[in-house]
Structure 1
């Protein structure tokens, strides 16, 4: 691979991966991708050490033995002459950039885009192979952001998407080195929990982001859906059903900001005392295992949806961007609420109909999991190819770019 014959350990950079992040979706991406990389490394017959180069690192977290937390990618530090991040990149044989799943876009602002693209340019400038791991890519609404993103992707050793909408976007942009797989969070392991048997457990993954109308309360996401009204109506409607026990689950915690799910979960618990609040989980695997004991899940967070889905539980996602629509369309799963289209009344109707048809949803989940697992295996095959050979094509692109 990217190493001389005498050296047997690969040094793999995990850019924009963060283990034990307060946003369990970020943790799911890091853990899931590391699991798939380990499978590939084992097939290649070498050993590897991974350096996590993500934001919001929990320095007290218990990391896997083969993972080290490296410097966080901060452009401010680079401008101040702190080159720890560049040194860490220089020490890698290959760098996989997962973009926190959906951040390689300008819809979250130019500043965030600059951080994401700046770190990619640093990898390329240091002559290291850059692999853009499976993620949602785009949209890029500003022409300058679009041009820069396309230039970076053309120099990457591989550009991998997790859904058909991102793939279509890359085809439109003329990115020839693009391949479609699936979200790596499907690889997060689960410890299956027993169902209650005497009652139906319905889990609501509460989204602080949607409840508070995005980061500023100004509905930057362009939602037609009044998510707070829907949440209240859903808890009350489920409460009327005999034998239903409502559980509330936070998937993003610790930030204290408007996107933090915990404060909303506790507020709802005060308003609806009979609801059961889930524990505060440290990892995505713990949350996924908890949801495996549910009979039905409604989730406002992408990776809570994936956690429930990959645990085999009927789930209704609350979609607020094309990352939802693209992924579940790829899985041939049509049971979701589109927050940009549906109002609260329509959304409630869809969810209650899905609850009544949950056995049918379970069949569709099973079919979707077959698609996801097949794509994960294809991705591991691709990783074996990347890790086994010297990436001569990617290196030529770096030198000639």
Structure 2
């Protein structure tokens, strides 16, 4: 069984998109994939190893590039043009020549199933038209060669441009399977495609990500040697994920996400309120690593938040400074008694471990994913909520945390079971080029799992 994966990088400072790739590799490998190929924008073809349980699973990377210095056969423009010729000139000799001269096409021909996850939330134009178009071109090349493309669980929409909506409809209507990770995305995608294919619900794949404790937890100030993580009063730390992109106003630095919330002003105010009731420490936990000058840098935003606190409170706040991989940062998050996050996959790292989690959201994707584990009321939408209201709501949820812990752990385990069922059936029923793959025909286990979700 050869499985291709689009839409998740193999090297990135964003631990959320790295979690998607690691989770997909695990789910596919456990479902019986014998070869996994990652189709990604990358500087060179290579192999990468993913840890699945007690073994390494090696995935081949077939790359495209945009650089003018790229080899022509690896350039995305060539790949798209060659794929168009492959579809429009269906002669065996022409196709063999294109395949020999385009590694991307040769690899796609060998796949039994190719699926796209588009970074989890980039099947939308909220991050700009350029990112959407690049994702579309890579996915379109697969449709041209294979005739169809599976869409793994992700967010669909919103679409603020007519042309992005049209291209989204084009791809979805050529998909044998479309999986949405929340009900609003299911509605948006179904509206785009009409009656067929039927868009189904699935948990986010990151529920399957394995957590691993790092050998050493690096913080500023450092933890004392041999010291237990539990602090004053035997209370685990509160984890607070600071989203550098929100902190800096988005890529435009001008409130790109149209937040009502003043995120910069909120965080020190929130920490002060928490310490009025919390006897332990608070850890600032980054989830996207980038240079300090980058708008994406969570570590730099964490440093600024801590510096904005009064000295007496700074003494109870640690910044997690180790640049951990997606498994290890999930392991660090797992030490927290409560988690508050603005990177959605940082929140998923907590939710999937049964940790009560508050999401401070910049888009609608948070609400649907939290809803999938019964935590919809734990999302604070920064687009409609002011600072005073947000602080009050977080404190209200802080007091409710023990009441949801056991139920959340059960919901998270149910999500993992559903994912294994869904991917098991996807791989078992992978079909030849262009043939329909009907989830409703998969039997009661998966059909029931999808409907319950």
TM-score scaled by structure 2?
Answer: 0.77
Which position in structure 1 is the counterpart of 2:82?
Answer: none
The higher-RCO structure (CA 8 Å, 6+ apart) is: 1
CA distance in 2, matches of 1:212, 1:148: 30
Are the counterparts in 1 of residues 48 and 58 from structure 2 also a CA contact under 8 Å? no
Tell which deviates more after alignment, 306-315 or 229-238: 229-238
CA displacement at 1:374 relative to structure 2: 4.2
CA RMSD of aligned residues (A): 2.7
Which SS does the other structure have where 2:284 is aligned?
strand
Distance 1:240 1:23, change over 3 A: same
Are the counterparts in 2 of residues 71 and 88 from structure 1 also a CA contact under 8 Å? no
Tell which deviates more after alignment, 71-80 or 254-263: 71-80
- Determine which of 13, 30, 33 is the counterpart of 2:24: 33
Which position in structure 1 is the counterpart of 2:35?
Answer: 49
- Within a 5 Å distance, the mapping from 1:1-400 to structure 2 comes to 10-41=1-32, 48-55=34-41, 63-64=49-50, 65-72=57-64, 74=66, 77-79=75-77, 83-127=102-146, 129-173=148-192, 174=194, 176-177=196-197, 178-191=199-212, 196=230, 198-241=234-277, 243-254=279-290, 256-272=293-309, 273-274=314-315, 275-333=317-375, 334-387=377-430, 389-390=431-432, 393-394=435-436
Which position in structure 1 is the counterpart of 2:225?
Answer: none
Return 5+ residue gaps in structure 1 as ranges. Answer: 1-9, 42-46, 396-401
CA displacement at 1:289 relative to structure 2: 0.9
CA displacement at 1:231 relative to structure 2: 0.7
Return 5+ residue gaps in structure 2 as ranges. Answer: 51-56, 69-74, 80-100, 215-227, 438-453
CA displacement at 1:83 relative to structure 2: 4.5
Which SS does the other structure have where 1:126 is aligned?
helix
CA distance in 2, matches of 1:293, 1:147: 44
TM-score scaled by structure 1?
Answer: 0.86
Larger Rg over CA atoms: 2
Distance 1:57 1:206, change over 3 A: farther
Are the counterparts in 2 of residues 73 and 85 from structure 1 also a CA contact under 8 Å? no
CA displacement at 1:318 relative to structure 2: 0.8
Which SS does the other structure have where 1:54 is aligned?
strand
Are the counterparts in 2 of residues 25 and 303 from structure 1 also a CA contact under 8 Å? yes
Are the counterparts in 2 of residues 252 and 261 from structure 1 also a CA contact under 8 Å? yes
Which position in structure 2 is the counterpart of 1:398?
Answer: none
Q: Deviations over 1:281-335 (max 9, x none)?
A: 4321111111111111100000000001111111101111111112112322121
CA displacement at 1:58 relative to structure 2: 10
